[in-house]
Amino acid sequence: MSDPLGKITEGKDLIGKIRNFIAGFVGYVDRENRREADKLLRETTAKRYEELWSRISELQRQFVSDGKLEMVDDLEASAIKLRAFIDRIKGASYGYTGFFDAVRINSEELERIYEYDFALLEGAQNLTNAIDNVAASIDTDGLPAAIRHLVSLSQEAIDTYNRRDEVILATSA
């Protein structure tokens, strides 16, 4: 059984990668800090995705002012998915009783949770790149594909969060 705390000191593990995104993230090993770590992760993730949602809204306004109304609806699919994702993260209660009250968590389960946490944070960067691609594709034949990719990544964020929830609920069972 590997020791997640030992990996932290190396800075090469998932916690180290998460810390690159979120200063002060301590992880879930210490029972007293689990709820606070989860709250910090959710607040930071929601904030990052809010910024992305705002960028998509700005692109929609640009399309309206440029008379490209057919693209507004296509972008709306991504905006709706991101808004639902953000609202879900913000509205979720902090902490799952079984997971956060457990005296000890299996290191494999902990690693899986960290993988999903990192995937959510990394997903924000992927969405940033996809939004940049949409903006760069305006007035090109690649715009519809760029928007489809953005919508796909928006759904991926929701799916990743759902899988994270499943792992946490399974851990607490």
CATH number at 147 reads 1.20.1420
Rg (CA), the chain: 18
The reported pTM is 0.79
Render 8-60 in DSSP notation, one character per residue. Answer: HHHT-SHHHHHHHHSTT---SSSGGGHHHHHHHHHHHHHHHHHHHHHHHHHHH
pLDDT in tens, the chain (173 residues): 444 444 444 445 777 888 888 877 777 767 677 777 888 888 899 999 999 999 999 999 999 999 989 899 999 999 999 999 999 888 765 555 555 555 556 777 778 888 888 899 999 999 999 999 999 999 999 999 999 999 999 999 999 999 988 887 776 65
Distance from C-alpha of 159 to C-alpha of 163, rounded to nearest angstrom: 6
Domain that holds residue 151: 4-172
- The SS3 call for residue 165 is helix
Domain count, the chain: 1
The three-state (H, E, C) secondary structure of 118-135, written as one string: HHHHHHHHHHHHHHHHHH
**pLDDT at residue 111, rounded to an integer:** 81
Query: What distance, in Å, lies between the first and last C-alpha atoms of the chain?
Result: 21
**pLDDT at residue 1, rounded to an integer:** 41
Distance from C-alpha of 99 to C-alpha of 47, rounded to nearest angstrom: 24
Contact partners, residue 108, CB within 8 Å, separation at least 6: none
